[in-house]
Amino acid sequence: MSLDNVRLSQPAKDRLVRLKRTTGITQWNVLCRWALALSLKDPSTPLVKEIVADSNVEMTWKTFAGQHRDIYLALLKQRCVSDGDDPTDENVAKALTVHLHRGIGYLGGHKEMSTVDGLLRSVVAH
């Protein structure tokens, strides 16, 4: 597992397809960044489970994180430390996968997040 490529599960892709339609946000990486932010905002530890990255949605880390990749990497490393894990490359990659998929679940599971305004409120609220 590495940060070189970010790949989604089929259920995550299906949720993002619906979100692309409802929000008008057309880029996978933008929606994935929102999802990651939502999950990292939640202080609880995600349920650890194996995520089968079986969809055809794959992007490089550079595409996923864009010009703020150092910030996203620092956030993931900090989250590893907060969760009691060493911020090794493998643990950071696992944290990305788990938090990304949990965040996509959050995005797809709340009706208020089907608009850009709803996304903004969900990330900046409390």
pLDDT at 124: 65
End-to-end CA distance of the chain: 33
Give yes or no for a contact between 99 and 40, defined as CB atoms under 8 angstroms apart: yes
CA-closest candidate to residue 115, choices 31, 33, 37, 42: 31
C-alpha distances in Å from residue 109, one per residue of 16, 17, 26? 11, 13, 19
Weakest mean pLDDT among 2-11, 46-55, 89-98, 117-126: 117-126
Residue 1 has pLDDT above 60, yes or no: no
Quick one: tokens of 2? 């590495």
Which CATH code is given to the segment(s) 5-124? 1.10.1220
pLDDT by residue (tens digit) across 40-87?
999 999 886 788 889 999 999 999 999 999 999 999 999 999 999 999
Per domain, the residue ranges of the chain are 5-124
Residue 123 has pLDDT above 80, yes or no: no
Q: Percentage of residues in the chain with pLDDT exceeding 70?
A: 84
